[in-house]
Structure 1
Amino acid sequence: MSDAGRGVTLSGRHGVDEPIRSVVVIGGGIVGWSAAVALRRRVPGLAVTIVATEPPANALADRIAQTLPSTVGFHDDLGLSEEDAVLRAGGTWRSGTLFEGWAEGLPGYVHAYGPYGQPFGTASFHHHWVRAAQAGGAAPFDAHSPAAMLARAGRIVPAGVEPEAPFAGVQPGLVLDIDRYRAMLAAFGRHLGVAVQDGEVAEVRLRGDDGFVEAVVLSDGSVVEGDLFVDAAGPAGVVRGRIDRDWEDWSRWLRCDRLVQADGPAEPPSPLDHVVAHEAGWQWTTRAPGRTLRGRCYASGFTAADGARSPVEGDVVAFEQGTRPNAWARNCVAIGDAATVIEPLDWTNLHLAQSAIDRIVSMMPGRACHPLEIADYNRQAAAEVVRVRDFVLCHYVAARRPEPFWQVPADLPESLTSTLALFAERGRLRFFEEETFARDDWLAVLLGQGFLPRRTDPLIGATPPDHSDAAMAAYRAAIMRALPRFPTAADHHAAQMKRIAR
């Protein structure tokens, strides 16, 4: 190691970087409470105070009920059981999303959580499928996904069950009851010793010598001090924005800027969300036990009349998609919509917030918040956010619709351009360090919307086409034979509720 390398220290202003002993979380929505609970639960001896302000309507991570499977792991890390985190809080399970209308002339496809196909021969499964599709003889790609076929059949793999192949990789997401879920987190946080301050932030005090946040002053005049401040108060970033207003605007790529959502009358529950493209955006339906969630996401600049004709009755929420280039500055870190605002396509909003919370816990600096440590946090966070943005944007780039809204922008991000160019050539996908979505997630969208590569992988030549076709047919048959073993969504939920009522 060089002398310069040996000289690098993480000392504070006085030569000693003491541990962070107190954290103040700003924001009383599910993002803020998730942060408060996780920090109190997972960092020994840490004093946590939450300023429980009501999240604004455009704090999407606090308002969107659907989650990715990663939320289940987040609960596990907190020691929250399925009964507490899901059932008693009014939640249920979801297995994937049916997309319709994204590619005219093609049937709808399902993006589910788990593997598509199984390896055989010398090439990855999707290369066998691509060769069959190019020859005009392929079954739908999602017919080779156990999770997708379960979702289409309205069936669920019971939580806690480890099914055998081909269903071993199925991963469920959740549908939350936002109000009850927040109440559960708040009760758990108080039980853990999280201190609660009600009120709005009226003033943010910065230290004169280094610009660190010293305290926040609430509307009632009370002062809340801390070593670290976590801003989970929504897009305004009331604390983090006091340090700087740097913002990366995504509106030239992701054009939706309006959202309407509301609950409707109950319909038979389904583990499959339904997302339908329309002329200036998309709308969704989620059928949970006891209620049906409906929403519409659209671009006001392309057709205001289209938004006005929305079948979803509710208040229109305006939002601006983008991200902070540096979510963490000095001793303040933004999470949720205070860090990144992205439309809820693929339901990544709460995932990004929970991932940020996990990263704060695992990369907790000392009180000096040394720039090297903060830079590494920001590097990882930005890499994750960019790939989530690219995955959401991929749906629009791969779409086939004639309306102006759906025309591909000329200046796509290089990270997505290179990903799609490589895939278009021979069906290969780049690997990135901070990936939220696995290769099969990307394949589900690209192949489901008819984005086929020009050539097949040379390794595919080792397996004759008829052998590939027979193997794929056998795999589809195995999935269909096994489906009746699993309960319907309604039966599964009823059995769960009966179990916790004992």
Structure 2
Amino acid sequence: MLDEPVRSVAVVGGGIVGWSAAVALKRRVPGVSVTIVPVAPPANALADRMPQTLPSAIGFHDDVGLREEDAVLRTGSGWRLGTLFEGWAEGQPAYVHAYGSYGQSFGTASFHHHWTRAAHAGSAAPYDAHSPAAMLARAGRMLPPNPEPGSPFADIQAGLVLDIGRYRAMLEAFARHLGVVVRAGEVVEVRLRGGDGFIERVALADGGSVEADLFVDASGPDSVVRGAIDTAWEDWRPWLACDRLMQASSAAATPSTLDDVVALSGGWRWQSALPGATSHGLCYASGFLRDEDAHRLLAEVSGVEPRPAIGFRQGTRPEPWLRNCVAIGDAAVVIEPLEWTNLHLAHSAIDRIISAMPGRACHPLEIADYNRQAVAEVTRVRDFVLCHYATARRPEPFWQPRAALPESLARTLRLFAERGRLPFFEEETFTRDSWLAILLGQGLIPRRIDPLIGATPAHQSDAAMAGYRAAIARALPQFPTAAQHHAAQHARITR
């Protein structure tokens, strides 16, 4: 029994998370039959509803064989290089968290140690001025498809801004093309097997049912399948106060590869550009901002009528996989969309399911290792999001600490604040450069300069940093604007 392979998988959930799982399982696990029950995700299924993605979404497309023409261009989606954070630390200028390297290492120490020494001397340029991706995004430009190898722009990665409806339809069409069986219907009961408590089948409203060796719950925070086994939940609300979200879509603005995230008295708001529309949103804490005030604020910024507010509860399942059911997306973890990690965590879970695919018996040791990795990953993502709040400097009550930080983040901040070092974590979503972009961008300057920096005189460090900034500035005009890039890419599919 332990060695018998999984022969059938049932995915419950008809949002982009469920269709992504069905596509990946059918494409990457030969011989497995995949059935999807495409129940509509609720409004508060953030992984199914948020248009922004991390660069890892493009890697997911590559893994399942989706071309850029189909996954991005024909779905009306666009590219993004980073996020501009405004108002998160009073007295600090706005800064960009972009996807790529910051600075260029030289001498015996990492680049940020050279920058820290200049900051202590009061002579440092903004940290993101040393990021090719950030400067491209600030200039409203986009990287060409094949940058010159070895150039400062070669390691830039782009995320996406999705047209959710068209993107979901593309995934559905692809899944059907691959042979995924679609079984429409609402789940009315989850039947457990006597003895071992495995899920035997899910019963549907029309009287039919779906049986499988393995069930993937992508139904959203209600977790209609995985919740039949247990309801254990780790609550993150002591640290992350936001519990409401409001969205709006307005007419297309000037194309941009840079999102804007602005801190407010009771939360934060965003704006992102799609090729055919502009996405607006407001994430806030109901204890500090009323729905009617959020509605008024978002309507003023967007110029359109916002959609009704939705509520969510941040936290995670301590065991997303139990017996023969694994929860993904908001059925496994709910986190506010700051830094746009929602779909990334779902894709990561899908990839981990495929890599860890057990025998039909779903041996507890194999499932425990999956859960260890999954929980480590979401915990570190929680820490990265929480880091924005922990290092923010604003006077309003919303921004004041409510509980001691989780030790994993507290240790990270202690270590960095002392001498600019960052600890190693095995399951890390964000690179060291991303952590540095937030920490230094929000004005957390290490108290001491790393002794390794002493091998390079300060004037040499300053000259090298100035030369790097100048090289970036000289190169920017050669890159297309966001509008030119989008037009050129669309010309490829209309020729």
* TM norm structure 2: 0.97
Cα distance in 2, alignment partners of residues 311 and 36 from structure 1 = 36
Task: Please say if residues 269 and 287 of structure 1, whose CA atoms lie closer than 8 Å, have aligned partners that are also in contact.
Answer: yes
Cα distance in 1, alignment partners of residues 55 and 379 from structure 2 = 20
Partner SS for 2:157: coil
Number of the residue aligned with 1:253: 239
Please say if 1:72 is aligned against 2:58.
yes
Q: CA RMSD in A?
A: 0.9
Please say if 1:428 is aligned against 2:415.
no
Number of the residue aligned with 1:7: none
Task: Please say if residues 76 and 163 of structure 2, whose CA atoms lie closer than 8 Å, have aligned partners that are also in contact.
Answer: yes
Cα distance in 1, alignment partners of residues 194 and 76 from structure 2 = 47
Cα distance in 2, alignment partners of residues 164 and 155 from structure 1 = 20
Number of the residue aligned with 1:464: 457
Instruction: Give the one of 130, 133, 144 matched to 2:130.
Output: 144
Instruction: Give the one of 158, 180, 190 matched to 2:176.
Output: 190
Instruction: Give the one of 387, 390, 397 matched to 2:383.
Output: 390
Cα distance in 1, alignment partners of residues 66 and 289 from structure 2 = 44
Cα distance in 1, alignment partners of residues 179 and 457 from structure 2 = 64
Deviations 1:44-69 (A, max 9, x none): 10100000011100000000000000
**Distance change >3 Å, CA 308–CA 87, structure 1 → 2:** closer
Task: Please say if residues 147 and 154 of structure 2, whose CA atoms lie closer than 8 Å, have aligned partners that are also in contact.
Answer: no
Structure 1 residue 164 displacement after superposition: 4.1
Number of the residue aligned with 1:43: 29
Please say if 1:311 is aligned against 2:298.
yes
Structure 1 residue 17 displacement after superposition: 3.0
Matches within 5 A, 1:451-490: 451-490=444-483
Please say if 1:497 is aligned against 2:490.
yes
Task: Please say if residues 238 and 403 of structure 2, whose CA atoms lie closer than 8 Å, have aligned partners that are also in contact.
Answer: no
Instruction: Give the one of 409, 412, 432 matched to 2:405.
Output: 412
Q: How many residues align?
A: 488
Number of the residue aligned with 2:270: 284
Structure 1 residue 309 displacement after superposition: 3.2
Please say if 1:159 is aligned against 2:152.
no
Instruction: Give the one of 428, 437, 446 matched to 2:439.
Output: 446
- Structure 2 residue runs of 5 or longer lacking an equivalent are 300-305
Cα distance in 2, alignment partners of residues 399 and 171 from structure 1 = 26
Cα distance in 2, alignment partners of residues 225 and 155 from structure 1 = 50
Please say if 1:60 is aligned against 2:46.
yes
Instruction: Give the one of 223, 228, 231 matched to 1:237.
Output: 223
Task: Please say if residues 395 and 445 of structure 1, whose CA atoms lie closer than 8 Å, have aligned partners that are also in contact.
Answer: yes
One-letter code aligned to 2:130: H
Task: Please say if residues 322 and 342 of structure 1, whose CA atoms lie closer than 8 Å, have aligned partners that are also in contact.
Answer: yes
Task: Please say if residues 147 and 153 of structure 2, whose CA atoms lie closer than 8 Å, have aligned partners that are also in contact.
Answer: no
Structure 1 residue 310 displacement after superposition: 2.5
Number of the residue aligned with 2:323: 330
Instruction: Give the one of 253, 257, 266 matched to 1:267.
Output: 253
Number of the residue aligned with 2:302: none
Number of the residue aligned with 2:303: none
One-letter code aligned to 2:479: F
Number of the residue aligned with 1:6: none
Instruction: Give the one of 167, 170, 194 matched to 1:181.
Output: 167
One-letter code aligned to 1:307: A
Number of the residue aligned with 1:123: 109
Please say if 1:368 is aligned against 2:355.
no
Cα distance in 2, alignment partners of residues 17 and 329 from structure 1 = 18
Instruction: Give the one of 5, 21, 32 matched to 2:7.
Output: 21
Number of the residue aligned with 1:8: none
Task: Please say if residues 281 and 297 of structure 1, whose CA atoms lie closer than 8 Å, have aligned partners that are also in contact.
Answer: yes
One-letter code aligned to 1:396: Y
Instruction: Give the one of 328, 340, 350 matched to 2:333.
Output: 340
Deviations 1:3-34 (A, max 9, x none): xxxxxxxxx4xxx4310000000000000000
Cα distance in 1, alignment partners of residues 168 and 41 from structure 2 = 11
Cα distance in 1, alignment partners of residues 331 and 27 from structure 2 = 23
Number of the residue aligned with 2:154: 168
Partner SS for 1:432: coil
* TM norm structure 1: 0.96
**Distance change >3 Å, CA 175–CA 181, structure 1 → 2:** same
Structure 1 residue 105 displacement after superposition: 1.2
Structure 1 residue 158 displacement after superposition: 2.1
Partner SS for 2:151: coil
Partner SS for 2:71: helix
Cα distance in 1, alignment partners of residues 148 and 22 from structure 2 = 32
Number of the residue aligned with 1:4: none
One-letter code aligned to 2:428: E
Deviations 1:274-328 (A, max 9, x none): 0000001000001222211100000001232642433242210100000000000
Structure 1 residue 161 displacement after superposition: 4.2
Partner SS for 2:298: coil
Cα distance in 1, alignment partners of residues 489 and 147 from structure 2 = 13
Partner SS for 2:472: helix
Instruction: Give the one of 350, 364, 378 matched to 2:343.
Output: 350
% identity of equivalent residues: 73
Cα distance in 2, alignment partners of residues 107 and 323 from structure 1 = 34
Task: Please say if residues 76 and 274 of structure 2, whose CA atoms lie closer than 8 Å, have aligned partners that are also in contact.
Answer: no
Cα distance in 2, alignment partners of residues 479 and 29 from structure 1 = 41
One-letter code aligned to 2:41: P
Deviations 1:119-164 (A, max 9, x none): 0010000000011011111000000000000000011112344554
Task: Please say if residues 20 and 171 of structure 2, whose CA atoms lie closer than 8 Å, have aligned partners that are also in contact.
Answer: yes
Query: 4+ residue runs of structure 1 moved beyond 6 angstroms?
Result: none
Cα distance in 2, alignment partners of residues 463 and 68 from structure 1 = 36
